[in-house]
Amino acid sequence: MKLIQKNIGGSSLFRNTLKMSATNVLMYFIPVIVTPILSRMYPQESFGEWGVFYSVISILGVAMFFGYENAIVKAESEQDSRHLGIICLVISLFTITLTFLVFKAGSALGIRFFQTFPQQWLLYIYLVLYALYMILYNFCNRQEMYNALAISHIVRGGSQALLRILFGLVILGTINGLIFGTTLAQALTVVFFAICLRKFLSDSGWTHISKKRIKELLYINRRFPMFDAPASVLAFTAFQSPTLILSQYFSKAEVGCFSIVIQLLLLPMSFIGAAMGKVYYQQLCQVRNDAAAIRQISKKVVDTVCIISILPLLFLAVGGDKLLVIFLGEKWVTAGAVALCLALWSFPTVLSQPMVPLYRTLDRQKNLLLFNALYFVGGVGSIVYGCLTAKPLCIILLIFSLVTAICKFCMFMNLLKLSGLKFRELNKYILCLWIISIIILAIRLKDIVLLNC
């Protein structure tokens, strides 16, 4: 513990991460408190609908700006960041309009997915709110407004939890309270960011937007739509498509189990990993021509994520799947086995994700595109294969977990190399914990394989 404190305790990256994620401590416990309430309040089918809705908005969310939202933080000047904000707004409106037309065409052609998609009207409202949210979020991050970003987590997470519970108590007819509550929470967060950025948004610089400069910035940052955006779309599609594919072959209840487990497994990422990725990117942009500084900052990130990433796997390996069923309720028995099958997937996913900004800083988006393409082919391919061959859900998820874990770990090794770090520099005690956890998990998974084969 002293070694960990020595390595990460004194860094500005860690302090700023804690500032952003301090409120995430509360947000970390809110799902822990609220999830067993919601799992007893809503049927599994509602979680299945939410899983499908969330998968679509996640994929569209990363494709919405063609990657230009990441250029806001990297912009050379405040005026350029304003120009990039306009670029992102225009592109997002185009993406949302295209989505609307695709869904209308799909419904008119009688395609089942589009006809049965839950709350289409809420989808379009949510996407508009999300576009505003992401643009304002990146403005805050660029200006190092970490207190505002931290409070936004409370606004978004707290209001979402309260609204979901409220709509679970109130009969909304055909409206899914999980989806409606999330949409309203997004609206409240947009209003909060607008208040925090009111001086910036009312600045006279917005009256000097130049079409010529917009064209220049579109070209200067062309790597984002060429490599970064496709890489992100591939990664999120591979991540979210299992829910969409499984929804065509399994019941809403089974898809609901998968959806809720995915959210719980990524809690450590929501707790600190996502915040660290944002701060990491901001600091990398400041020292992008200094290899020694990049190595030093990256070492702090690696030391932290090596600990965080093992938590879900270790918890499930030692029997956390049984506690999960007790936590969610008796009707969620399938969730325990699903969580155990996905444990190996969660480990390298949480491990590698906070370090992804390194690719953008070093203009190595081609590497990111390659690894995400492998992840997409392996992940989606394994799910499709399992469904077409009528394999049990747990076997499908186990194959998916193994394939995607290998892809993500290879990405992590490449990130270490780019940062100037070596695998042998990792804490040996943490490495031993990795090995022990994986061995225990393999023993636990053996019983599931025998039961389903």
Domain that holds residue 129: 2-452
Q: How far apart are CA 162 and CA 30, in angstroms?
A: 10
* Residues whose CB is less than 8 angstroms from the CB of residue 49 and which lie 6 or more positions away in sequence, other chains included: 118, 119, 176, 178, 179, 252
Amino acid (1-letter code) at residue 177: G
pLDDT of residue 4: 41
Sign of CA dihedral 363, 367, 369, 372: negative
Q: How far apart are CA 68 and CA 85, in angstroms?
A: 9
Amino acid (1-letter code) at residue 68: Y
Weakly modelled stretches of the chain, pLDDT under 70: 1-29, 31-32, 171-173, 267-275, 278, 452-453
**Number of folded domains in the chain?**
1
pLDDT of residue 192: 94
Q: How far apart are CA 41 and CA 44, in angstroms?
A: 10
pLDDT of residue 126: 95
Does the reported pTM lie above 0.75? no
pLDDT of residue 106: 92
* Residues whose CB is less than 8 angstroms from the CB of residue 295 and which lie 6 or more positions away in sequence, other chains included: 419, 420, 421
Phi, psi of 263 (to 5 degrees): -65, -40
Residue 331's closest CA among 48, 31, 2?
48
pLDDT of residue 92: 93
Sole residue written with tokens 């301090």: 22
Q: How far apart are CA 427 and CA 446, in angstroms?
A: 29
Token reading at 416: 């270490």
pLDDT of residue 452: 66
